[in-house]
A and B are shown apart, each in its own frame.
Chain A
């Protein structure tokens, strides 16, 4: 477990003990891992860092509404099929159905690629933002994840020889069905603590002046205590720190914060709420805390 934690750290990903524990268990027990948390707490990054740390291929399936089997699992390569028919025709032959619907004409999408893999080490399959897909896709996924097999009517059933490491993420914009979650190990990722976020910041934005790093972290942590429509995540903290670095600043000042706040807050109402007095108050707190 400690090994996993430091391997992730080498990929510039700081996993706390809790996350390291469940990742370790997911690998040992061959269970899919269901990661839930607010947007921007680093759920997607986990899978990327994990695949890099373990030296495995990363297959990513980005979910969206209406995602169906043809985009997630497989599709037939119609253009090639048509060309094949034409080619045979030119030779005076007729196309046979079983030739046309064979592996050569199959376009392999992430799920099929993950199940039907011949990698030396099974790949990491990232199913990103499952909450954006619809119930039908969830039901299908449940089927795939329970047996690690996929049926293609024209070819038959394909079973995984070495099941992939599965990481499913959700922003919890809607409740994902319990049946799917029950199949998985579940982990809820919180926003990082002040110390942890400072560590992440110094690790990911090298060259950031220490004083600025502390101020930035304290300011963002303060922001998260406010009632905002969209709370900034770690990605926003990193963006903002980089913006401040690019401006060659060493310290937070009210005007500077106001000018660069767009890197942190993406909703007009939130920006408006923070201008003026509240911003100064928050900055004053940061000064006292830092």
Chain B
């Protein structure tokens, strides 16, 4: 075999290892890798490693998988290049997490309506809209899910940094000059520019701990709807004792597949609640990366916290300072006799801009309408409640008394 032939065999073998691990390698990146090897050779382990790494992957999160494939490849070279097969990535994940399947709640997102469920009469649909999510029967759940799919989610617009032709305050020299040529170079008509509006970014942090379980099926459906219904997809995290980012997992055309993805990511479904710790994880590792350009943060939680109050206070305060508007959506707020007496809820209220119920479909539909207005307006008053049900108006006053 020629030297070129051996080189090519090495390249193909290594690329196959990576693909076995679930890493995507474009043919043109594989070709680039072959070119790189022609430059650095295959004798030096470190050179080979960095050449391969720079050509074959382009995301920091793939580094660990890459290293595994590299180890396997380098070892196999000295065994005469026997191709090794590595277990595929998703199987490995399942093995690491124990029996992940067992933790999956029974009902999930459905992209197709269940068979045998006909259209609802208007009044029945209205009644369903008002029924608390936690009290729905399995059949009603399906019906509500179908109704929910019709909810149109829109985020508000805010003036972006980019300019476009329009009636703003900034001059558009280019158009002005062009039109002036028509009048012998006299700029008679001043063309103007205005900011081009952008959608406000949204970040959702959803509580999936044990106490939220009655709501978790609908919650997932809701998150899936948000992830796939907004023009600008939101960043979505879930937490109970730890925080998991499920943004990528939710972005799938196939709802079932999205759901499976979420359960692979989230290892502590229905665990205990440590909101403060989860927010701390968010503030430390994610805030820098997902909070920018006037982001709206929505936390969905009942506020039944088992962690340290002091930690919760400082982290929620920090979160509010780093975002444009902090919304707290609480399913318990829906019931008439609810008072935010839980320690966790009392702690965070002073730092929440909006405090809203999300316990049934009607509330969610209201939220869809409010979200647009709330995210479009001027900067909210800090430390006060913007949107909230009427009877909670002087809640804050009661708190500080």
Contacts and interface: CB of A to CB of B under 8 A. Distances in A.
B173 A76 contact: yes
Interface of B: 26, 28-29, 32, 35-36, 39-40, 46-47, 49-51, 53-55, 57-60, 63, 160-163, 173-174, 176-178, 180-181, 184-185, 187, 283-284, 288-290, 292-293, 314, 318
14 contacts: A17-B50, A65-B161, A76-B177, A85-B180, A85-B181, A94-B184, A97-B181, A175-B59, A182-B29, A186-B57, A186-B58, A186-B59, A187-B53, A269-B314
A182 B51 CA distance: 15
Interface stretch (A19-27, A48-56, A108-116, A202-210): A19-27
A18 B49 CA distance: 8
Contacts of B32: 29, 31, 185
Contacts of A187: 50, 53-54
Interface of A: 1, 17-18, 21-22, 24-25, 28-29, 31, 33-34, 36, 65-66, 68, 76, 78, 81-82, 85-86, 88-89, 94-95, 97, 100, 134, 136, 172-175, 178, 181-182, 184-188, 227-229, 269
B58 A134 contact: no
Given A22-B50, A25-B39, A173-B292, A34 B173 contact: no
B46 A18 contact: yes
Contact of B35 (A29, A66, A184): A29
Given A17-B46, A134-B161, A186-B58, 12 more contacts: A1-B40, A17-B50, A22-B50, A25-B54, A31-B32, A33-B54, A68-B162, A78-B176, A95-B185, A100-B181, A185-B54, A185-B55
B185 to A, nearest CB: 3
Given A66-B161, A269-B318, A227 B284 contact: yes
Contact of A95 (B49, B162, B181, B284): B181
Contacts of A182: 26, 28-29, 58
A258 to B, nearest CB: 21
A97 B187 CA distance: 15
A89 B54 contact: no
Given A22-B50, A29-B35, A136 B289 contact: no
B177 A81 contact: yes
B284 A21 contact: no
Nearest to A79: B173
A68 B283 CA distance: 31
B289 A172 contact: yes
Contact of A82 (B26, B40, B177, B290): B177
Contacts of A22: 50-51, 54
Given A25-B39, A229-B284, A181 B58 contact: yes
B162 A66 contact: yes
